[in-house]
Structure 1
Amino acid sequence: MEEKSVNKTNSNGYTFMFAVIMVLVVASVLAFAATSLQPTQRENVRQEKMQNILATVGVETDRPGAQALYDQYIVEEIALNENGEVQESVDAFNVDLAKELKKPVKDQVFPLYIADVDGEKYYIVPLRGSGLWNAIFGYISLKDDVNTVKGATFDHLGETPGLGAEITKEWFKKSFENERIFDGDGNLVGVSVVKGDIDPSDKKDNKVDAISGATITGDGVSNMISERLKRYLPYFKQQGEIKVAIK
């Protein structure tokens, strides 16, 4: 009985030590894998960002081709302060809007991308706001009148499939094309996602049709477009070549 008890004790100790060693080995392998993959993950995020920026001006590409087309069509990256002044020391591409939005407006940095596609100039503004469950974000491009939308892309962190998640669908994004962001009096109102009888051919009503069952997400899209675009008014007002009268 005493020998069996000793063997049982030894067996339990061995099993425990084996489990500890395996946990340490697996944890080390996972940590190494995560660290090794970080550069690849960062590069994928960077390329996807370029894809989304380019998509707003009608330039479609896969990830491997994003850098070359980005360098071809994006002619300027600008970081602005709340007064529309260029912040030369800030890398606009690497500005994290999620972090910026936690700051007071006076301390925020506002990235702006300027594209030239076949001789046409476009201004691309990053967007970020709140949906039903989590953050929503994207980009919107304006033609050189800084009034007419060229294109838009949207994404989310947790909207409901078939409802709020529809903001990523092509039909929803296309509904923004050629919409105006200023009303007839020259006030920046953005583009509102609205329920009801919306005429998709009326591009001067500052409205697009809402997604059925996704009112809160739609309101989030409306709010983030108007809130973000208004931050760029000081800069746009300083540009002498802009063709539209703005207030």
Structure 2
Amino acid sequence: MEEKSVNKTNTNAYTFTFAIIMVVVVGSILAFAATSLQPMQYENMRIDKMQSILMTVGVDADPSEAQELYAQYITEEIVLDSEGKKKEGVDAFNVDLAKELKTSAADQNFPLYIANVDGEKYYIVPLRGSGLWNAIFGYISLQNDINTIKGATFDHLGETPGLGAEITQEWFRERFAGEKIFDDTGNLVGVSVVKGNSSASKDDNKVDAISGATITGDGVSDMISERLQHYLPYFKSETDLNVANN
């Protein structure tokens, strides 16, 4: 009686071995690709950050010219402690706000960028807070009076398209230009994103909200006032800023 030959490719052992080999090969390829692309991804993030900072002071930069324009207009990068004093040995550009916010305010690093555009001095403060689904962040620049907003940029990690995600749009960002961050009595109140605020006044500390994005708008309001409060000690020590005694 003849024995039937066994096709080894149909055995469980062959299937498992083949699967393991494919996992190892594909994993190695993906790991190599990730490692190879990491420097490029990091560089793209740096360029995007420079573009966002420059945008707050009215400088639009293409990726190819962002570094040159950043070096031209950003005259100083500093890091402050919670008392408004400059810290040495900390690179402002590489401060990760996501990590900083996990520590107490007393232990945080507060990066600040100082720009000079056409002879005008601006202070640029990084922002980070919480939206509806995830983190929201951006930058806000103040004119030399430390009260009037020159410009702002916002971004997010997971807000709803067509609703909260609209904070990235130019028409929303433009609402903040010219707004004041102090009220009439000298209290730092930031700028509130308020539904139905149709007033054209730049002295009411309010901008009109995005319809259907109340929680995201509240997050923008909160992060502006919360972040700016930490910079008051520095602004008071470096300028003639006159604020209320809270």
* 1:197-208 → structure 2 map (5 Å cutoff): 197-199=197-199, 201-208=200-207
CA 1:2–1:215: 2 relative to 1, 3 Å: farther
SS at match of 1:60: coil
Distance 2:207 2:121 in 1: 24
Does 1:20 pair with 2:20? Answer: yes
**Structure 1 residue 19: Cα displacement:** 2.6
SS at match of 2:79: strand
**Structure 1 residue 65: Cα displacement:** 1.3
The one-letter amino acid paired with 1:143 is Q
SS at match of 2:176: coil
Does 1:213 pair with 2:212? Answer: yes
**Structure 1 residue 15: Cα displacement:** 3.6
Q: Deviations over 1:170-222 (max 9, x none)?
A: 110000000000000111000000012431x2000000001101110000000
Distance 2:198 2:230 in 1: 28
The one-letter amino acid paired with 1:155 is D
Distance 2:27 2:92 in 1: 37
Distance 2:79 2:28 in 1: 40
Does 1:245 pair with 2:245? Answer: no
**Structure 1 residue 10: Cα displacement:** 5.6
**Structure 1 residue 89: Cα displacement:** 1.2
**Structure 1 residue 7: Cα displacement:** 1.1
CA 1:21–1:202: 2 relative to 1, 3 Å: same
Contact 2:190–2:225 at 8 Å: present in 1 too? yes
**Structure 1 residue 14: Cα displacement:** 3.3
Alignment match, 1:177 = 177
Alignment match, 1:225 = 224
* 1:49-64 → structure 2 map (5 Å cutoff): 49-64=49-64
Contact 1:137–1:155 at 8 Å: present in 2 too? yes
| Structure 1: runs of 5+ lacking an equivalent | none
**Structure 1 residue 2: Cα displacement:** 7.7
Distance 1:190 1:163 in 2: 22
Distance 1:215 1:172 in 2: 14
Distance 2:55 2:61 in 1: 8
Contact 2:76–2:114 at 8 Å: present in 1 too? yes
Alignment match, 1:112 = 112
SS at match of 1:79: strand
CA 1:2–1:151: 2 relative to 1, 3 Å: farther
TM-score normalised according to structure 1 size: 0.95
**Structure 1 residue 9: Cα displacement:** 4.8
Alignment match, 2:133 = 133
The one-letter amino acid paired with 1:209 is D
CA 1:2–1:213: 2 relative to 1, 3 Å: farther
The one-letter amino acid paired with 1:214 is A
| Structure 2: runs of 5+ lacking an equivalent | none
Contact 2:133–2:159 at 8 Å: present in 1 too? yes
Contact 1:182–1:206 at 8 Å: present in 2 too? yes
TM-score normalised according to structure 2 size: 0.95
Distance 1:137 1:160 in 2: 15
The one-letter amino acid paired with 1:189 is V
CA 1:160–1:2: 2 relative to 1, 3 Å: farther
**Structure 1 residue 22: Cα displacement:** 1.9
What RMSD, in angstroms, separates the aligned Cα atoms of the two structures?
Answer: 1.4
Distance 1:185 1:10 in 2: 82
Contact 1:198–1:207 at 8 Å: present in 2 too? no
Alignment match, 1:38 = 38
